Amino acid sequence: MMSYSRTIKVKIGQTKTSRLLMGTILVFFVTENGSFGIINNGEAADSQSRTEANCTIGMVKGDAQAECRVPIPSGCTVAQFPGYPEPWVDISKGGGTSCQFNEKQTDWETSIVGSCQTCTTEQCTGRFIVMFNCVNNVPPASQRSPGPK
């Protein structure tokens, strides 16, 4: 009988914990959405008008400097990360190299060039990602339902 009542207590405890956890998660999402202003000021619609473009460099040991150009989509401008004046970009690299945007060849309006230095390990990679605002370049949503597959 004791083990039976312990089992019931555990199940009841798990149920209360699950409800508490779900309630906490729900409150967190509502609070965070409100504090970021996504619900209140229509930024959700603006976020749909962003896109990203990237270029990737692959190198092997001993390869000297390599570069690539990030394509700028037609009708788009480089986005700024919300709250910061800098371009919304990211660089990731793998292996023994250093990568950066080429300051001489990049004007952020017509040309975006990334470059990586000499590869000192077996393989190296560099990836340059740029976020764009394309407010006037978003196609209207299709109202038709998808056909049978």
Confidence at residue 67, expressed as pLDDT on a 0 to 100 scale? 94
The tens-digit pLDDT sequence of the chain (149 residues) is 444 443 333 333 444 444 444 554 544 444 444 444 443 444 444 445 889 999 999 999 999 999 999 999 999 999 998 899 999 999 999 999 999 999 999 999 999 999 999 999 999 999 999 999 997 655 555 555 556 65
Confidence at residue 4, expressed as pLDDT on a 0 to 100 scale? 42
Confidence at residue 63, expressed as pLDDT on a 0 to 100 scale? 95
Cα dihedral across residues 75, 78, 79, 83: positive or negative: negative
DSSP string, 27-79: HHHHHHHHHHTTTTS-HHHHHTTEEEEEEEEEEETT---EEEE----TT-EE-
